[in-house]
Amino acid sequence: MPLSQAVKDLVVNEYIPRYPTKRAALVMALWAAQNEQGWLSSETFEEIGELLDLDATDVNAVASFYTMFHRRPIGRQLIEVCDNPPCLVNNAHETMQRLCDRLGLESAAGHGGGTTADGEYTVRFAECLAACDMAPAVQVNYRYYGPVRPDDVERFLANMESFSIETPIPPVPGQSGPPAGAAATPAGMVKEG
């Protein structure tokens, strides 16, 4: 699906003028595109490249560096389980296994997750979420939850909010960033937007 004219206008009229070079607006443009499309296709890389005078390969290379950019479709609920040492020793892999079992992704658990057939959930591992004191820590659509122990998984899927460990930050109108409803700030931490 092509980018909307609204996103193109946002990039050209709002983002590009903020920077000394068009290339510097690339991450902002990728966010705006992903917020609209849900993920970034090769067609989108071409379109962003045209707006910023970049080769689509360059655009793809930058997108591939950041795990928050999705280069394939993901579920409406993106569940990320930290598997760095503090979470690992607190059974993060078992939490992943239970999540996959519960969501019908059994065969994907050993490979670090997957996406449900109905497109509702994607489960995958993530690097340290900076919530190590809440190990095993989990993110859902960039919001923080924890600890989500293996035995908590059933309750967690039924009522995620009861595991929330953050104070949501209201979205800034007109500013690109994580998808609507997402606020990536663990309790007590302030993250630059």
Q: Contact residues for ligand FES (CB under 6 A)? A: 82, 84, 86-87, 128-132, 135, 137
Within 10 Å of residue 171's Cβ, how many Cβ atoms?
15
Nearest distance in Å: CB 12, ligand FES: 38
In the complex with ligand FES, the residue whose CB is nearer, 49 or 136, is 136
From the list 43, 38, 12, 34, the residue with the least C-alpha distance to 25 is: 12
Nearest distance in Å: CB 89, ligand FES: 9
Please, are residues 163 and 156 in contact by the beta-carbon 8 Å criterion? yes
Distance between CA 9 and CA 1 in Å, rounded? 17
From the list 2, 4, 1, 27, the residue with the least C-alpha distance to 15 is: 27
In the complex with ligand FES, the residue whose CB is nearer, 49 or 150, is 150
In the complex with ligand FES, the residue whose CB is nearer, 91 or 115, is 91
Nearest distance in Å: CB 130, ligand FES: 6
3-state secondary structure at position 164? strand
Nearest distance in Å: CB 96, ligand FES: 12
